[in-house]
């Protein structure tokens, strides 16, 4: 391997690490926001994987699956849901936004990104699976 190839590999690993640390920070922020609500902690543990139910969309094809999955894993949507909960003084809507946000951060920490309509394995963070 040449020096340039080694540099590219190290730069890629460094960038992936930075992104994972950033996502960890956002996940911890989601936990902090959850802590501000008046719900028992077990609700967080029960609900944190709920957004993955959106994978049911893949039963209707890649386009439907990607659309539904991305709808439930988009951080801007999660933030809008949370802010709607604040606006309407509704802690259940706030909870939904927090769960969507924290779940999306958790997924991105593990390398799962928003999906392309070409298949579940194809994400904005790269292809999922063995390389």
* pLDDT in 10s for each residue of the chain, 131 residues: 576 777 677 777 888 889 999 999 999 999 999 999 999 999 999 999 999 999 999 999 999 999 999 999 999 999 999 999 999 999 999 999 999 999 999 999 998 888 888 888 877 877 776 55
User: Residue 111's pLDDT is what?
Assistant: 85
Quote the radius of gyration of the chain (alpha carbons, Å). 17
Alpha-carbon distance 105 to 96, whole Å?
14
Alpha-carbon distance 62 to 117, whole Å?
5
User: Residue 61's pLDDT is what?
Assistant: 95
User: Residue 120's pLDDT is what?
Assistant: 81
Residue found by looking up tokens 């604040």 in the block: 86
User: Residue 63's pLDDT is what?
Assistant: 95
User: Residue 3's pLDDT is what?
Assistant: 66
Q: What are the CB-based long-range contacts (under 8 Å, 24+) for 26-29?
A: 26/75, 26/101, 26/102, 26/105, 27/102, 27/105, 27/106, 27/109
User: Residue 130's pLDDT is what?
Assistant: 58
Domain count, the chain: 1
pTM, full prediction: 0.88
Residue found by looking up tokens 């957004």 in the block: 51
Q: What is the domain range of residue 61?
A: 3-127
User: Residue 82's pLDDT is what?
Assistant: 98
């Amino acid at each position: 391997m040449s020096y340039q190839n080694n540099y590219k590999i190290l730069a890629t690993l460094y960038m992936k690490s930075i992104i994972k640390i950033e996502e960890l920070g956002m996940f911890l922020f989601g936990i902090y926001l959850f802590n501000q609500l008046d719900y028992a902690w077990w609700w967080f543990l029960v609900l944190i994987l709920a957004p993955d139910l959106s994978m049911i969309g893949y039963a209707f094809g890649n386009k439907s699956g990607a659309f539904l999955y991305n709808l439930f894993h988009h951080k801007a949507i999660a933030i809008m849901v949370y802010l709607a909960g604040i606006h309407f003084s509704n802690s259940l809507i706030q909870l939904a936004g927090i769960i969507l946000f924290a779940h999306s951060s958790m997924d991105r920490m593990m390398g799962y990104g928003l999906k392309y309509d070409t298949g579940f394995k194809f994400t904005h963070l790269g292809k999922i699976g063995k390389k």
